[in-house]
Structure formats: C-alpha cells, structure tokens
Amino acid sequence: MNILQINTSARTAQSNSTQVANAVTARLLAKHPGSSVVVRDLAANPHPVLDETALGALFTPADQRTAEQAARVALDDALIAQVQSVDTIVLGVPMYNFAISVQLKAWLDAIARAGVTFRYTDKGPEGLLKNKKVYVALARGGLYRDTPADSQVPYLKMILGFLGMTDVTFIYAEGLAMGPDSVTKAFADADAQIAAI
C-alpha cells in the first residue's frame, strides 16, 4: 500500500485534524506492514492559490510558456504526480467557518486539471484518479455530522468523486470546542471509527 497523507490545517502543530489523520495512517500501517507513507503538510509547505497568473500559465500551451509560467505549472504537476502514484489518501480536514481550509482548497484546485485528472466526454465528465481509497479525517469544534450546517462532506464527496475517487470514508472528531469532556468523547469516537477500518 502506498499512502499519501495530506495535512490541511493552518496549524503545523497542535492540529486536531492532523492528530486524527495520523491515527488513521497508523491504523493503516498496522494493518498493512511494509506500506510506504508520504506526508505533505500544507501549512509548513503551502501551495499557491489559483490566481490570474496561475490560470494564465495553465492556459498557455506548454511550448509557449515563459520560464516563470513553466515553474508555476510544475508546482501543480508535482501534486498531481504524487496523487497518481498512490493508492490510498488520508486527508486531515479541519472546519473553518463551516468550510474547508484554504490550504485544502488550493490542493484541490491544483490536482483538478481537465484532460489529466478528469475529462469531459459525450456522456459527461469522467474522473481519471480511479482505484484509490480515501480517508477523510474531520475535526470540528461543534457537532455538524448529518446536519444542514455540514457543507464539507457533500462538497468533498462531490469533488473527489468528480476526480474519480469514489471510495471515501469519513472519520469524525466533533465537539472539540465544547469542553474537556466533549474533547475526550470526540477523540474516543474517532478512535472507534478508526479501529473499524
């Protein structure tokens, strides 16, 4: 098994979502000894956001790009190649203002490329990142699972599925801002979900 763990918290240390993601990865390693793991921390090494310069580079034919444009596209190419090379992805996902972090959005924008990770066909779009297992380790201050306030899970199911990653398991650690007892329960609940993997 080749595992890619993506930490998407704005914090490099003391991140609840990273703690849950680490526990998922540890469980996978215990079940599949000899597996390889690559960890990418998007707070320690942030990926640039999709802006006008990046769009200009992406929409310029490769043989016509300036050195600066080629370097910008190469940053996205590296993330795409990394995802293509693994069979298992663990995403550490905090909730910020009811949404995913800008770090995760920048990563998703980088790996979603027409003709490379998805394509449009006469039958509609087709995701090209197939045969991958994704674990999403969610950490939230409140209780949002299965409520209208949870915009993360529907969005992540949609965008990952659009890219071809349809085998997705969500692990929840919720109530982390609701006092010490709630924190203990949140991590215990997450541990139980991880043990069931």
Q: Which residues are annotated as a binding site?
A: 9, 15-17, 95-98
Residue 40 and residue 12: Cα distance in Å, rounded? Answer: 11
Residue 34 and residue 28: Cα distance in Å, rounded? Answer: 10
- What residues are designated binding site for FMN? 9, 15-17, 95-98
DSSP 64: G
Structure tokens at 150: 């949870």
Contacts of 119 (CB under 8 A, 6+ apart): 125, 126, 128
